Amino acid sequence: MNSTDHPFISLLRPFGGTDGLTHTSPSSVLAYGIGLFFILALLFQHNGNKIKCFDMDGVPMKELCISGASKAAMLFQPYVLSLVAGGLGLADNGDNSGRPLVSKQGEKLAHDEPYIICSGKHREVVLHAAEHVREFFRNDSKDHFKPTGMNFGDYFNRCSHRTTNTCTMESVLGQCVGALNGKQWRVVRSYFDPAYTGNASLAMVPSFQNEVVKWLNMLKNDSLRTGVRRLVVHAPTSCKILLLRVIPQTFYGAAYDDDVGMPPHAVRIWGLTVCQAYEKLVRISQIQGQVLKYVMAGGWQQHQWFNMLPTPSRRQLDLYHRDWQAFNLEMLETAQKKGLAIPAEHIFKGVQPDDAMSMDQYLQTIDEMIFINIDITGSVLAFMLNNLAKHPDFQQKLYEEIVAQKAEEGFDLSSYLARQTTLLHYLCLESVRLRPATWFSVPECTTIDKVIGRYRIPARTPIIIDVRRLNTNALTWGLDGGAFRPERFAGRSPNEYRYGYMRFGVVSGKCLGKHMADVLMKVAMMTVLEQYKIEEIEMNIGVRDGYLAFVKRKEPLEFTTGTQKREGIITG
């Protein structure tokens, strides 16, 4: 048989016959080569895990396939779904319950039992009840580990080539601290943690207050409809503008200022006036958003062979890595020239001279801290403002608490912010309960066999938690678990909902910036409510969802100093 008549060669044949194959043109050889590359890539593609879980009677756990959506989009759905063209099957189906459709499909399929979710080549067990989570953590929680790249695909977690002074990263966030395990996770956290302790976050309070006041003054000039004592603002966009200024400042300090390599005049971004000091970071965040869109949309970018090609997604990722590294090195250079002591410089010692972490881990953890947290915290802040507008009675009680506390002799703001028995704290707890950091937790694997919800779970099985469903489960929160009612936390010990409330991740995945986010949200709410009442506005032409009215308060409440308190105020 002539080798040129082999069916495999026929499959690769571009056009025309194979006469004179030995004298093939370079273009034909290239076509054959590309065809062979694609077919071999498909033939040798890894098929992923094949986990199977059975109950005591040998009945297999039910499986839900979400082949039309990516795992990453499912995880971050509340915050980045707008980046992805619709049709992923993830959005709320219109019943306003606040849960993504995939969560409801899982409940319909398996009811109160765990189930397996299938996304591409990956399978993961989904838990959603407190008793499930308790068993998941029992005995081996400190030994849990995350699967490679958190099962987000090759584009998220490509291997990278590292040197000390240069960075040729090829992944999106595959080397951030949230994706690391074991010793390397502990090493990276040891450099980042000191900048984000509870005390370090409280030390940032004056800076937070100053930035929130600047933000409110900016809104006066940029409000959609500025009237007498009234502003109309788009809360999601405005909150992101605030956080794009505040969160990077916690890392870059005074180096992140108006004169860092940029003209000092103002520019327009997202319809609002901002200082050009962070115009560059805004531009980089937009590039990062485009890169993240490829992760969310899934598709070919999940496959290693595709990411080896000179595709638009690869070029976009290269552009992001180049600009992101340049920006961070510029911040370090500015700090050194001006003699500034900033967290970024201290943490960078882990790269140079200590060589304890890679440049990838440094840059991608900053990405996680800044860009991901801006989206998440901004979404929660907007959710808070929206619910204060919808619940004016609670808003008034909270305002009265704030004024009463500030009227106390010897009032200490840091102590008030740190207390866990105030309406302000309950507002933060309730908001994150209903609008969690992620819809689903990142996958973690057990190290021992377990029995969860009557199913045998083999060791090394990836497990995720349906956070929104867990946080509203009626067994923990009652029949109104899906309703906004911050007072539900009054008198309740955290031990009562230890396994029924997931706020900042699970075990090793706990949010690096959890203290900072908590303090920042409280400072923002205090500063806004002292000056404005938050009200809903009527939806009409030109006013879309997310707009709220900030109504200037006429006169602040006055309270007698000392120990006297107004009835109904929870002071702890």
CA distance 424 to 452: 36
Contact 403, 557 (CB under 8 A): yes
C-alpha 529: how far from chain center: 26
Q: What is the pLDDT of residue 518?
A: 94
Strand residues in 66-143 grouped as ranges (E): 115-119, 122-127
- Residue percentage of the chain with pLDDT more than 90: 44
Q: Which pLDDT does position 256 carry in this prediction?
A: 87
Strand order in the sheet with 547-552: 230-234, 547-552, 532-536
Q: Which of 73-77, 254-258, 297-301, 439-443 has the lowest mean pLDDT?
A: 73-77
pLDDT computed for residue 73 by the predictor: 56
Banded model confidence at residue 347, pLDDT cuts 50, 70, 90: very high
Cα separation of 360 and 325, whole Å?
A: 9
Q: Which of 100-104, 137-141, 342-346, 499-503 has the lowest mean pLDDT?
A: 100-104
Of the listed ranges 10-24, 312-326, 328-342, the least confidently predicted one is 10-24
pLDDT for 260: 39
For residue 191, pLDDT over 80 is answered with yes
Helix (H, G, I), strand (E, B) or coil at 193: helix
More confident residue, 127 or 171: 127
Specify the DSSP element, H or E, that contains 64.
strand 63-65
Q: In the chain, what percentage of residues exceed pLDDT 70?
A: 69
d(CA 242, CA 216): 9
pLDDT reported for residue 165 = 39
Which domains, ranges and CATH numbers included, belong to the chain?
3-43 (no CATH), 177-437+503-552 (1.10.630.10)
pTM above 0.85, yes or no: no
pLDDT over 80 (residue 242): yes
Q: Are 446 and 459 in contact (CB under 8 A)?
A: yes
pLDDT (tens digit per residue) in 250-281: 999 988 875 433 344 444 444 444 445 578 88
Check pLDDT > 50 for residue 325: yes
Residues 6+ apart with CB under 8 A from 440: 74, 75, 126, 464, 465, 466, 467
Number of other CB atoms surrounding residue 473 within 10 Å: 22
Name the most confidently modeled range: 5-14, 105-114, 224-233.
Answer: 105-114
pLDDT (tens digit, 9 = 90+) per residue, 91-142?
Answer: 444 344 456 788 888 999 999 999 998 877 788 999 999 999 999 999 888 8
CA trace torsion 520, 522, 528, 533 (10° rounding): 150
Classified as helix, coil or strand, 292 is helix
Confidence of residue 223 (pLDDT cuts 50, 70, 90): low
CA angle 71, 74, 75 (to 5 degrees): 90
Helix (H) or strand (E) holding 162: strand 161-162
pLDDT at 147: 80
- Residues counted in the chain: 572
Give the chain's mean pLDDT.
78
DSSP states of 241-263: HHHHHHHHHHHHGGGSSTTSSS-
Q: Band the pLDDT of 542: cuts 50, 70, 90.
A: low
Amino acid in position 132: H
Query: How would DSSP label each residue in 410-447?
Result: T--HHHHHH-SSSHHHHHHHHHHHHS-S-SBPPPEE-S
Q: What is the pLDDT of residues 409-447, one digit of tens each?
A: 999 999 999 999 999 999 999 999 999 888 888 889 999
Task: Round to whole Å and give the CA distance between 461 and 403.
Answer: 51
The HSE-up count of residue 469 (CA atoms within 13 Å, CB side) is: 24
What span, in angstroms and rounded, lies between the C-alpha atoms of 509 and 147? 13
Higher pLDDT, 147 or 397: 397
User: Which residues are CB-neighbours of 492 under 8 A, at least 6 positions away?
Assistant: none
Cα–Cα distance measured from residue 77 to residue 100, given in angstroms and rounded to the nearest whole number: 8
